Structure 1
Amino acid sequence: MDDQDFRRAVRELQQQVNNALDESGVTGAEATLQYGKAVITNVVRTYADNLALLGRPAPTLDEEEQLKKAVENRIFYLGDLQPLVDDPEVENIDVNRYDQVWVTYTDGRKVTGPPAADSEEELIENVRRWGIYQGQNARDFSTARPILHKALSNTVRLAAATGITPHTAFSIRKHGMLDATMSDLAARGTMSWPVRHFLHAVMNVPMNVIVAGAMNSGKSTLVRALAGDIDPFERLITVENERELFLHLMPERHHDVLSFEARAANSEGEGAVTMRQLIDDAFRFNGRRILVGEVRSDELVPMLVAMNSGGRGSICTMHADSAEEIFPRMEILAGSMPADALFRLVGKAVDFIVYLRHEVSHDPDAPMNVRYISEIFEVLPPADSVVPAVNRVFVPGPDGRAVPNVTPQCMDKLVKAGFDATMFIPRAGGLWN
């Protein structure tokens, strides 16, 4: 089969399998996948037999296997983009149009990729299928619901749009360091070893932490690594819009985890479960700590209340383009809550803010893609202003990475949790003792 015949066959077979899935009534990701594989095998075999009966060239056994894999990829995985998803060096895939694809690699390189589909219509149908059949909760993608956010697997997150962009578009973000520990990150240069030991003590006290940074700065990776310093027998509750932490899939590291994922309303506007609701309910499931993937909206205040009401050692992430934007960002997310009340709560609930910086360049001659902790603030109740007082415990050094600046007020607690205070002696030039 030449390439044109192969792609035509894949489209025809894909439509047959789609119809069979729609009519089957099978539910559940694993059951749907197994049923779909069986249907794919049958339709490919029937397709080859029909060609042979008509006296036309039929696919070889190898070509039949290729057809089955291509159809399976298009329905249950990411079609022609699946090889890129499987490539450990690929970090992001951005599709601006069905035939306009950009691929970003972990070293900062950015190159064009293969078409994501053969047409706009096919691309819309593919994304619709992914929304239904991939991940845990089916999510609609249509003109009525033109935006889709979904974790497709343990390592892949999808954001898609149609009708509100010139062409149907989507972005894929890959999580390539699911098992990274704090020591792994220190070895990669994300933090110095003293910072690594400092944060280990923060987790052991335990103290509440907000991890902040710009988009794609490695916030989820750092939260997973921080969680690795928690006693494996502690009961953890994770709450996310789309699953990215996956602590419940690491039983050797975390023995007792309950993972919640928010759910969008169905096409009738029913059945939504919000982040705010999940955070409100989390401690009713006997969680010792709550880990929230990202605070984006009105769930901020319930998260702060949870931190201040028994959830010591809890962690959440927040988007901020600079460390200075964190408190103004909180004020926006808190909505109508008075600023003075909000920041009093922040001052009591949050112990530390860890800020991640991301330096990236797609220059073909000098690509760069580096993430590191640049600042750590100790958060204190408001003093001379409405916003919380802060101790800038770590500040950017000559290379931007965090170096010591002032001793935190809670140093005694950190020492009791195992931190060696002699590692934290700030000197001129930001050198460690």
Structure 2
Amino acid sequence: MTDHLPLDQVPLMGRRAIIDVVDRAPDGPYAAPRRAGTRAPGSVPDRGSGTRPGGPTAVDWGVVVTLRRQAAAEISDRVQHHYDQYGRTMPDADRQLMGRAAIRQVVRAHAEQLQASGTALWDLDDEEAYVRAVSSAVFGYGRLQPLFEIPTAENVELHGCDSVVIQYGDGHRAEHPPVADSDEELVEAIRFLGEQARPSRPFDDAHPSMTLALGDRFRLHAIGFGLSFRPSITIRQHLLTDVTLPDLVAGGMLPEELARHLHAAVMGRRSIVISGDQGAGKTTLLRALIAAIPANERFGTLETDYELLTHLLPHRRNMIALQARIGQGEVVGGRRVGEVTVADLVPEALRQNLSRIIVGEVRGAEAGAMFEAMQSGAGTMSTTHSHSAASTMDRLAARVAQGGVLTVDEAYRQIAHNIDLFVHVRLIDDTWRGGTRQRLVSEVRQVTGALESGRPVTHLLYNALPSALTPPVFDPEPTLSAELERYRSAWPGVR
């Protein structure tokens, strides 16, 4: 059997440019999908009850999954055969024609098999509906497609096949029709997406969780196989990818005077760590800070999974985006074969003539990689989970110490010498009482470089949430402000 090429090397269609094949009513909303066992596999619903007058043919998604497997294997075989015969990859235009033909042939063969066995008789409309459905399942998101077509959705939360909830940007949630007839069908659909990613992401008993970047603004996380009672999937849609500091000022995330200071700090190659809870806006703020990097600089991003998406922006072509890779197969020396961590990517990035390195998110082992990147050059930026700017350095030091790279005291010294600013973001959620959600920069601390009782000394530069003990403050330290003065004229203003 010929080894199959990954389907992302057979790009018949963009994943977001798929013909809509999900059963829609004439006025637009999605019809509730069939529950398991309501008709025989492979059959077409009775036209008196299963379809609407003048409406599209309903498809059996169990059949679509079977045909998807056959079509994917056939397409991969043909692409591999072309490569073996000619020693080069099949041109995109040829792959498009070949792929459409292969899917149509697979559907036609299935229809003929149904007819020969007396199971069902498909007409041309039935065949065309399955051709569209299989195309979507192979090169798009299949039955999950509607979840990727809600422009204002921030999160899609699936708990099993029949609990689908959409969380919108303003914080409110709404239920959505199921997107699978069984948990097994849902897991199969998620596994297929992981298999087609580059690098591939396994989702099975040996790899019961998976994180996956999809398209130009989605991140999917799945967990199952006994770690959760039912498979649980969260799809995050990044609503702000091409964003600047002036954009965030206009949205109320931070005041202009602070934004100008942070912009100058990026221009002046100061190292910045952004902290906050999950969903607080850390990645969005980091994207805005990256936008402040001068256009003539070549920089790199290091991530466990692509999430910053800077490499997809048309005006950021001279940069490099590196992503870790999950190992496969047996564990050798404590690591799976083929595994590449963020820490492994640092020395590779240093050979790419980069002016600075961005470490997307520091969870655990990435802390050592962040310190290595900061030691290699100024201007490094990263994000991490923390409850305040003041506590971030303690969490970073503890994470590095857990990895055995440095002791806590050594980590504190590295923080004092290599990090300039800690920026903390918060999400204030009043939706529980009918209010709204607001993301804001709540605290900024400048690292002075001094140590006190072994810990880095910080200066409270900004505080947006005053209390009885801490009044509102914007107090830039004079020495740093003087050093950054030459960059203040580069403030871009609102686009």
| Matches of 1:401 and 1:264, distance apart in 2 | 47
Structure 2 residue 327 is the aligned partner of structure 1 residue 265: yes
Decide whether aligned partners of structure 1 residues 317 and 99 sit closer, same or farther in structure 2, where only a CA change above 3 A counts: same
CA distance in structure 2 between the partners assigned to 1:301 and 1:217 by the alignment: 24
**Counterpart secondary structure, 2:328:** coil
Q: Which amino acid aligns with 2:484?
A: L
Give the aligned residue type for 2:345. Answer: L
Measured after TM superposition, the shift of residue 66 of structure 1 is: 4.5
Q: 1:402 to 1:256 in 2, by over 3 A?
A: farther
1:356 is displaced (CA, Å) by 0.9
Q: 1:326: which partner in 2? A: 392
- 1:277 aligns with 344
Residue number in structure 2 paired with 1:288: 355
TM-score (ref. length: structure 2): 0.76
Q: Write the mapping of 1:213-224 to structure 2, written as runs, cut at 5 A.
A: 213-224=276-287
Tell me, yes or no, if structure 1 residue 393 matches structure 2 residue 461. Answer: yes
Aligned to 2:12: none
1:35-184 correspondence to structure 2 within 5 Å: 37-46=100-109, 58=122, 61=125, 66-133=129-196, 135-163=197-225, 164-184=227-247
Q: Which residue of 2 aligns with 1:307?
A: 374
Instruction: Please tell me whether the aligned partners of residues 210 and 317 of structure 1 are also in contact (alpha carbons under 8 angstroms).
Output: yes
Instruction: Give me the whole-angstrom Cα distance separating, in 2, the residues matched to 1:387 and 1:33.
Output: 59
Distance 1:355 1:55, change over 3 A: closer
- Name 1:428's counterpart in structure 2: none
Q: Is the 8 A contact 2:59 2:129 kept in 1?
A: no
Which shows bigger deviation, 381-390 or 17-26? 17-26
The 2-side partners of 1:402 and 1:154 are apart by: 38
8 Å CA contact 1:13–1:43 kept in 2: the answer is: no
Partner of 1:346, secondary structure, is helix
**Change in 2 beyond 3 A, CA 1:366/1:42:** farther
Q: Residue 369 in 1 paired to residue 437 in 2? A: yes
In 2 relative to 1, CA 33–225 (structure 1 residues): closer, same or farther, beyond 3 Å?
farther
Q: CA deviation at 1:305?
A: 3.0
Which amino acid counterpart does residue 195 of structure 1 have in structure 2? Answer: L
Q: Relative to structure 1, is the Cα distance of residues 166 and 368 closer, same or farther in structure 2, using a 3 angstrom cutoff?
A: same
The answer to whether the 8 Å contact 1:98/1:169 transfers is no
> How does the TM-score come out when normalised to structure 1?
0.86
Segments of structure 2 that go 5 or more residues without pairing to the other structure are 1-43, 52-56, 81-88, 331-335, 491-495
Change (3 A) 1:38 1:212: farther
Letter in 2 for 1:410: L
RMSD over aligned Cα, in angstroms?
A: 3.0
Per-residue deviation, 1:50: 6.5
What is the 5 A alignment of 1:207-246?
A: 207-246=270-309
| Pairing partner for 2:407 from 310, 321, 338 | 338
Deviation at 1:17, TM superposition (A): 2.2
- Which residue is 1:12 aligned to? 63
Please report how far the alpha carbon of residue 166 of structure 1 lies from its aligned counterpart in structure 2 after TM superposition: 0.6
Q: Does 1:404 align with 2:474?
A: yes
- Which 5+ residue runs of structure 1 have no aligned equivalent? 421-433
Larger radius of gyration: 2
1:83-142: CA deviation from partner (whole Å, max 9, x where unpaired): 232211100011111111221001111122221311111112111101111x32111111
Q: Give the whole-Å Cα distance in 2 for the aligned partners of 1:9 and 1:59.
A: 15
Shift of 1:260: 0.5
Q: How many residue pairs were aligned?
A: 414
Q: In structure 2, what is the Cα distance between the partners aligned to 1:192 and 1:40?
A: 54
2-structure distance, mates of 1:401, 1:131: 49
How far residue 402 of structure 1 moved from its aligned partner, in angstroms, is 7.7
User: Which residue matches 2:382?
Assistant: 316
- Which residue matches 2:419? 350
- In structure 2, what residue type is equivalent to 1:215? Q
Q: 1:350 to 1:287 in 2, by over 3 A?
A: same
How far off its partner does 1:167 sit? 1.1
String of CA shifts for 1:21-44, please: whole Å, max 9, x gaps.
24634589x979956654333334
The offset of 1:292, in angstroms, is: 1.2
Once residues 36 and 362 of structure 1 are traced to their aligned partners in structure 2, the CA distance between those partners, rounded to angstroms, is 47
The structure-2 alpha-carbon separation of the partners of 1:401 and 1:120, relative to structure 1 and needing over 3 Å to count, comes to farther
Identity in percent = 30
Instruction: Report the Cα distance in structure 2 between the residues aligned to 1:86 and 1:299, rounded to whole angstroms.
Output: 33
The amino acid of 1:300's aligned partner reads: A
d(CA) in 2 for partners of 1:267 and 1:69? 35
